[in-house]
Amino acid sequence: MDFTLKTYQSLLSALKHAGYTFQTFEEFLSVPADGKVVVLRHDIDKRPENALRLAQIEHASGVKASYYIRIVKGTWNEEIIEQIVALGHEMSYHYEDLTITKGNYEKAFEHFKVHLVEIRRFYPAKTICMHGSPLSKWDNRKLWEKYDYRKEGIIGEPYFDVDYTKVLYITDTGRAWNKTGVSVRDKVEGGLELKVRNTHRLITLITQNDVPEKLIINTHPQRWFNFGWGWMKEFVCQHIKNVIKKVLVAFMH
C-alpha cells in the first residue's frame, strides 16, 4: 500500500541509509551541505493534522523538514503550527495572495506581507512557497513580477531559487511521483527528470544509488494516511512522548 505513513517512514530510512543529509530549504540555500542532500518540502494544502503526523515521524527519525501552510480556513491551525515548529522543522507561508485578491497585485502584496508577519509569530520564516491553486486562473508566482520578496527578508522560493538542472525535484502531486499529466503548476521546467510509479520504486532507486545527489522531495501531507494506523500510532506515540519531554525540557532551560 502506497502513501501510508509506514511507507513514508521507509522512504526516510532509505534516504538515511543511502547517506543523505537532511536540510531545511532555508539551510539548503544558506549553508548547503556537501554531497548527498535532501530537502523534504511539505505543502500543507489541507488536513493540517496529517502534517503534524509527518512532522512527528520525521522528528522520531531524527530529521528536519520544511513545512508551508496555507492561511485559509480549515488549513491554518496555530496549535499545529506551534507543535510542528517545536519538533524542529522549518515553517512558512504557502502563499496564494493573488488568487485570494482575484488578481489585484497591490492588495495581494499587502495581503502577503500581513500573513508573513502572522507566520513569523511562530517561526522566523526566510523562505516561502507558492500554492499552485490548480483551479484558479491566477498564478500566484506572478506577484514577484511586480514585487521583490527579498525586500521582505525572504531568501528563497523553490520555484525561483533552485537550479533544477542540478537538483532533482520529485512531487507526489496527483498521488503518484512526478506524474506530469495531473500537475497544473506544481512542477518545474527544464530540470532533471525521474519518473517513478510508486514510493517503493523510489525507495529502490535511492537504495541502489540511482538518484542524484541533491533532492527536493515535495509531499502533500493530506495524501499520507495509514490504514494500519494502530501499528504506527503505537510506534509514533512512543517517540512523541519522548519528544514532548525533550521539547519541554529544552524550553524550561
Considering the complex, state which of residue 111 and residue 131 has its C-beta at the smaller distance from Zn ion: 131
Place of cell 521539547: 247
Which CB atom, from 81 or from 232, has the smaller least distance to Zn ion?
81
Say if residues 114 and 167 touch (Cβ distance below 8 Å): no
**Smallest distance from Zn ion to CB 46, Å:** 9
Based on CB atoms, which residue is closest to Zn ion, 88 or 221? 221
- Closest residue (Cβ) to Zn ion? 131
CB of 217 to Zn ion, least distance (A): 15
Torsion of CA 128, 114, 139, 25, to 10 degrees: 0
**What CA–CA distance (Å, rounded) separates 158 from 164?**
10
Give min distance, CB of 129 to Zn ion, in A. 8
Q: In angstroms, give the least distance from the CB of 211 to Zn ion.
A: 24
Q: How far is the CB of 151 from Zn ion (least distance, A)?
A: 24
Measured from the CB atom, the residue of 107 and 223 that comes closer to Zn ion is: 223
CB atoms within 10 A of CB 225: 15
Our CB check for Zn ion shows the closer of 43 and 157 to be 43
Residue closer to Zn ion (CB basis): 160 or 231: 160
Residues forming contacts to Zn ion in the complex (CB under 5 A) are 43, 45, 131
Query: Smallest gap, in angstroms, from Cβ of residue 131 to Zn ion?
Result: 4
